[in-house]
């Protein structure tokens, strides 16, 4: 073990760098140089104590977000923590901001302090540099197909949407929107078992909002009651017990009657909003997530909830 460490130190020394400097170079290569191979990197040298840096940060973040689809990313280097990297770029004052492409500075952005100045410079650079290339075109194509499938699903054709989402997954296996869309499509096509298998097979994107929506829908719709079960639950709910009312609301939503579920849950909230630590409101919010927060029915029902809570 001591021999291996000694050999490594000798190799690093032969490059003229000590271990800390080599580690700094490795971090910079991973965080900045590698992304710059296919993207235009905005490289921001900053420090916690630097007031102008803090003023510039939201501008850089907004521009980077606006230009993300064009192949622009933001990388930040704290000069106090990465003194060696800052010295290699001969940073004398901060903020200092460069544009990097394929590991090389292609523009000094330090004096572009406003959003319009930054965007003007980026537009000029993007017109001259081969940013994204075939990879960018493929990403745009995937996004186009995802948007098409989402529109088709919203229009009420889940089987056709599922086919398109499946094709997107073949093109981009890690695309979370496609996975979530496919699960939702299968749920809406009454293929809950297939939807469950899909959801369980993709844990790597479990935190993505698209899949979170699909999982909520799956949880709510998996135990769809038949007409006899639903009638029995409705009769029990009429007795007024909160547990029975919640069970009925879950069942009637699973049966496809969104309005009846919302009416029941809103009635429960009006009667006792604190019951079971706000269980009725939590269930209604889960339904909103499952249906989709931008859905017109959700928007209208959220207004009803707000009027009840704050009116």
Q: Which residues are catalytic?
A: 50, 53
Token couple for 114 = 């406003």
From residue 209, give the alpha-carbon distance in Å to each of 80, 176, 179: 36, 8, 11
Structure tokens at 153: 């699903």
C-alpha 20/C-alpha 124 separation (Å) is 37
**What distance in Å separates the CA atoms of residue 219 and residue 153, rounded to the nearest whole number?**
19
Q: What is d(CA 55, CA 60) in angstroms, rounded to the nearest whole number?
A: 10
Q: What angle do CA 240, 244, 249 make, to 5 degrees?
A: 105
User: Which alpha helices (DSSP H) does the chain contain, by range?
Assistant: 2-14, 19-28, 51-66, 83-88, 115-128, 133-154, 158-171, 176-188, 192-200, 209-221, 227-237, 242-254, 258-272, 279-291, 296-310
| C-alpha to C-alpha distance for 173 and 166, rounded to whole angstroms | 9
Pairing of strands 96-101, 40-46: antiparallel
CA 277 vs CA 8, 251, 273: distances in Å: 58, 21, 8
């Amino acid at each position: 073990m001591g021999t291996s460490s000694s050999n490594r130190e000798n190799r690093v020394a032969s490059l003229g760098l000590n271990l800390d400097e080599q580690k700094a170079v490795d971090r910079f290569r991973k965080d900045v140089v590698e992304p710059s191979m296919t993207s235009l990197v905005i490289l921001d040298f900053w420090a916690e104590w630097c007031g102008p840096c803090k003023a510039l940060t939201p501008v850089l973040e907004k521009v980077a977000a606006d230009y993300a689809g064009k192949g622009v990313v933001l990388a930040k280097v704290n000069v106090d923590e990465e003194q060696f990297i800052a010295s290699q770029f001969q940073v004398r004052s901060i903020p200092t901001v460069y544009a990097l492409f394929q590991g090389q500075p292609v523009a000094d952005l330090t004096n572009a302090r406003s959003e319009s100045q930054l965007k003007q410079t980026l537009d000029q650079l993007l017109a001259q540099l081969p940013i994204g290339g075939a990879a960018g075109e493929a990403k745009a194509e995937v996004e186009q197909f995802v948007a098409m499938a989402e529109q088709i699903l919203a229009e009420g054709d889940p089987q056709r949407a599922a086919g398109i989402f499946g094709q997107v997954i073949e093109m981009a296996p890690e695309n979370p929107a496609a996975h979530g869309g496919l699960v939702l499509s299968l749920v809406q096509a009454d293929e809950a078992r297939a939807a469950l298998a899909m959801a369980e097979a993709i844990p790597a994107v479990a935190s993505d909002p698209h899949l979170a929506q699909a999982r909520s829908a799956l949880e709510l719709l998996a135990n769809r009651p038949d007409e006899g079960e639903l009638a029995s639950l409705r009769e029990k709910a009429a007795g007024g017990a909160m547990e029975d009312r919640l069970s009925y609301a879950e069942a009637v939503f699973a049966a496809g009657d969104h309005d009846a579920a919302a009416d029941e849950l809103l009635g429960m909230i009006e009667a006792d909003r604190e019951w079971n630590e706000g269980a009725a409101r939590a269930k209604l919010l889960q339904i909103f997530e499952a249906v989709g927060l931008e859905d017109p029915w959700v928007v209208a029902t959220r207004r009803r909830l707000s009027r009840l809570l704050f009116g």
